Chains A and B, each alone.
Chain A
Amino acid sequence: MNYRNVLLGGVAALCLYGPAMAADTDVTIVLNEELETVEPCMSSQSNIGRVLLQNISETMTELNPEDGSLMPRLADSWEDRGNGTWRFHLHEGVTFSDGSTLDAADIKHSIERTLSPDLTCEIGAKYFGGMTITPTVVDDLTIDVTSDPAQPILPLLMSTMTIVPAETPMEFTRSPVGTGPYAMTAWNPGQNIILDRRDDYWGDQPAVTKATYLFRSDDAVRAAMVATGEADISPLINQIDATNADTDFAYPNSETTYLRLDSSIAPLDDIRVRQALNMAVDREAFLGTLVPEDAQIATHMTVPTTLGADQDLSVPAYDPEGAKALLEEAKADGVAVDTEILLLGRLGNFPNVTEVMEALHGMFTDAGFNVKLQMVEVAEWVKYYSKPYAAQPVPSMVQAMHDNNRGDPVFSMYFKYACEGLQSGICDPDLDKAIADATATAGDGRGPAWAKAFEIAHDLSADVFLFHMVGFSRVSERLDFIPSIATNSELQLSQIKFN
């Protein structure tokens, strides 16, 4: 026995380890950021969602990304019992990956846990702010959920609520247990997360037996990994790298980019100035250049598949001369149109954001505005974007990207347009009323109610809307999987088939 043999043997073993063990039904998915936690109540964060949502942790209801309708998942059915109370009937025979059976107590615990102040779960903070939710167990398979104030879309909200066993402690878990078709079998922080298919899943057996998640923050690397066979799916690649029609798919990602105008400060308090800003932007020029060709020019805060957002509104045509004329007019009325306006961009917000902002800066300047561009990281950006503003009040246009993949504008409109909305740059009584009305409206009237709110915001030129964005995924040719709007927040392994 000599050292050299041992050493060579070791090296050989190391080389063989890894790629050689992959089976035909295994997939490798490369995400853009490492998961900081694997806590189900955090799965509204896109990367946590892509691993956990509906793979490990399921929800009572599920949103159909194609038509915005609501589908049953853990709950077979639900009904409105008035006064803000909804009753959910659970599917029978569902088991958690730890072997226990799903019952109403688990749902109750999950809701309480998600909304607990001791945990600061993102799902709680993001979807259930400003309301009180009270779960009441009726029997093992029936639960009443009451909200105050009443929520016409409570079943929709429940499509975000991940369900964990009643035994889950009130702290972030490192070994998530859920009812989904997969269970987490390994988590090597910094390296990978491995999910294995459960044999005792209550629903249909999916094709994928094992999924390995890797994390690479560099766009080009993620794209290259699918090309070299090191990964099968990269849910997010840069549009620049999406060059292979066979593997690269564009999908609307429910994100809307816009410039939030602060209309409380001169000269942005003048509607003509805001209109002029809208006219100064040559939106067409971006498409197919800095912004993917499949992106849509936005007229609303939410994507067209959202309730009430399917109506025909339009953005003003590109008209720098018209913008100048409007400015002159405002100037004649004593509006300080020469004031420097801060154009604030958020670094890394979407691919090419810096270039887009540079181009916008150029367009505004061409139309006669005095605009100063500043690109900042998120911590500073928030100081300008969200109330209470930590930054000095200056006339500003804050670039932002809003994501509403829940199908209902309620998640957007209050925050962005109500006087009290945290990111609202406008305060208009009519608009406030329209939002409040629509929020409280249930049933068929809800769509037209939102459409009205959209229209008021549009007529006020409250923002400079840019695009409903698309994302790009690269999927290995050995898989039968087409990314959809849902890919932005989840990646259901059960939807992946093999060619």
Chain B
Amino acid sequence: MTETQTEAVPKTKEPGKFITILRLLWADKVATTAAIFVLIVIGCAILGPILLDGVATKANLRGRNAPPFDLSKGFLMILGGDQLGRPLLARIIVASGNTIAVATGAVVASMIVGSSLGLIAGYSRGRLGQVIPRLADVIMSFPSLLLAVIVLYMLAPSVGNIVLVLAITRIPIYLRTTRAEVLEIRERMFVQAAQVMGASTGRIIFRHIMPMILPTLLTIATLDFAFVMLAESSLSFLGIGIQPPEITWGLMVAQGRPYLTSAWWLSFWPGLAIILTTLSLNLLSNWMRVALDPTQRWRLEIGGKKNG
């Protein structure tokens, strides 16, 4: 790039940040599709439980396992009925609320706690810098299933506690990443420049270091979002996750699993919802990695036509 730099500052007016991001997103059609899908899911998560809760929990034992693509039972039965005869479409929509709440809660909580600890561990040159990474080691090797059993036994298998379990197990990821980045960034010239100006530690951390780490953390968080959804589903499979009458996609897959050979749609649709959502998030994260990196961004800026 230095080869083509010119002394003159370009006179074109820079568009707003939001527009720039939209433009970068539009340049990657796959990522755009993914973003739209994620938006739809979020919409379902917010509105679904309010609108459809009654329909989704109304059992009809005599109409159980109704096959999909049959419009005669109404639009909500288009994906079929579940093992209690409840419409799968409505359940998937309602379940998105808990699913997204669990994933978001766990990711946000672990990101905040993990990166704060990582900041402290990375920036402090004292004993904390030694102790906190050990803490991460302990959490890493603490069996997550045992943690789940402990929390869910002492508290209750509610959405909030599942969030707690998943958040704790994901803390080390953010802690380690943040610490490694801080160790590197705190040696950078602009941090020293701020020190020379007399900037306080808090200012250096929050004004100078944090904004540099944020893109990395966001990328990890997006991937983690997918991971947490799958982990929640595995917990349900093992019977130590969320329990009915709460519903999540993971629980639906786990509950529909025995019917895989007789009524495939029970676990297929929620499974598909998980796959599509995680896939979208992965694609978005790939896009973000490029869009947030100034040295990679040209791929999007020029490649609208040929470089998806």
Indicate whether A and B interact: yes
Which residues of A does B touch, CB under 8 Å?
219-220, 238, 240-241, 243, 282, 285-286, 289-290, 347-348, 351-352, 354-355, 357-359, 361-362, 373-377, 379-380
In the complex, which of the residues A243, A286, A351, A361 contacts B245, with contact meaning CB atoms closer than 8 Å?
A: A361
**List of A residues within 8 angstroms of B157 by Cβ:** 374-376
Q: Would you call A358 and B258 a contact (CB within 8 A)?
A: no
> Could you name 8 residue pairs across A and B whose Cβ atoms are closer than 8 Å?
A220-B260, A286-B61, A354-B243, A355-B84, A357-B244, A358-B244, A359-B59, A375-B157
Decide yes or no whether B259 CB sits under 8 A from chain A.
yes
Q: How far is the CA of A351 from the CA of B258 in the complex (A)?
A: 9
Query: Can you list, as one digit per residue, whether each of B208-249 has a CB less than 8 Å from chain A (1) or not (0)?
Result: 000000000000000000000000000000011001110000
CB pair A285 B262 closer than 8 Å: no
CA distance A238 to B259 in the complex (A): 10
Given contacts A220-B258, A285-B61, A289-B61, contact A380 B84 (CB under 8 A): no
Residues of chain B lying within 8 A (CB to CB) of residue A240: 258-259, 262
Chain A nearest CB, measured from B248 CB (Å): 13
In the complex, residue of chain A having the shortest beta-carbon distance to the beta carbon of B243: A375
Q: What is the CA–CA distance of A355 and B239 in the complex, to the nearest angstrom?
A: 14
Which residues on the B side are within 8 Å of A357 (C-beta)?
A: 244
Query: Provided the pairs A285-B61, A290-B83 are in contact, do residues A376 and B258 lie with their beta carbons within 8 angstroms?
Result: no
Complex Cα distance A373/B245, Å?
Answer: 7
A377 in contact with B57 given A289-B62, A351-B258 (CB within 8 Å)? no
Closest 4 CB pairs of A and B: A375-B243, A285-B61, A362-B59, A347-B239
Of all chain A residues, the one with the shortest Cβ separation from B240 is A377
Asked if A376 and B61 sit within 8 Å, CB to CB, the answer is no
* Nearest B residue (CB) for A371: B245
Q: Residues of B contacting A241 with CB < 8 Å? A: 258, 261
Apart from A220-B257, A240-B258, A290-B64: 8 A-B pairs, beta carbons within 8 A: A282-B61, A285-B61, A286-B61, A347-B243, A357-B244, A358-B59, A358-B84, A375-B157
CB of B244 within 8 A of CB of A354, answer: yes
B61 near A354: Cβ-Cβ < 8 Å:
no
Residue B58, interface by CB 8 Å: yes
A219-B258, A358-B84, A361-B245 in contact; A285/B62 too (CB < 8 A)?
yes
Q: Is the pair A358, B61 in contact by a Cβ cutoff of 8 Å?
A: no
- B153 an interface residue at 8 Å Cβ cutoff? yes
Report the bound CA distance from A379 to B150 in whole Å: 11
Residues of A within 8 A of B244 (CB): 354, 357-358, 373, 375
B50 at interface, CB cutoff 8 A: no
> Which residues does chain A contribute within 8 Å of B62, judged by CB atoms?
285, 289
Please name the residue on chain A nearest to B239 by beta carbon.
A347
In the complex, what residues of B have CB within 8 A of residue A361's CB? Answer: 245
CB of B255 within 8 A of chain A? yes
**Which of A282, A285, A355, A379 is the one whose CB lies under 8 Å from B255?**
A355
Bound together, the chains give a CA A290 to CA B259 distance in angstroms of 12
Q: What distance in Å separates the Cβ of B148 from its nearest Cβ neighbour in chain A? A: 11
Chain A: CB-nearest residue to B263 = A240
- Residue contact B261 to A220, C-beta cutoff 8 Å: yes
In this assembly, does B199 line the interface, its C-beta being within 8 Å of a C-beta of chain A?
Answer: no
- Asked if A380 and B153 make an inter-chain contact with CB atoms under 8 angstroms apart, the answer reads yes
Min distance, Cβ B94 to any Cβ of chain A, angstroms: 14
B51 — which chain A residues lie within 8 A by C-beta? none
CB distance from B192 to the nearest CB of A (A): 55
Residues of chain A with a CB closer than 8 A to B258's CB: 219-220, 238, 240-241, 351
Complex CA–CA separation, A376 to B158 (angstroms): 11
B156 on the interface (CB 8 Å rule)? yes
Q: CB within 8 Å of A: which of B51-89?
A: 57-59, 61-62, 64, 83-84
Contact A359 B84 (CB under 8 A): yes
Q: Are A289 and B259 in contact (CB under 8 A)?
A: no
Among A238, A289, A348, A352, residue most surrounded by chain B Cβ atoms (within 10 Å): A289
Could you tell me the distance in whole angstroms from the C-beta of A375 to the nearest C-beta in chain B? 4
Give Cα A341 to B156, complex, Å: 16
Inter-chain contacts of B64 with A (CB < 8 A): 289-290
In Å, the complex CA distance between A289 and B58 comes to: 16
The docked-state distance in angstroms from the alpha carbon of A171 to that of B258 is 40
B299 CB to closest chain A CB, in angstroms?
45
Give A118 Cβ to nearest chain B Cβ, in Å. Answer: 30
Give every chain B residue within 8 A of A348 (Cβ-Cβ): 239
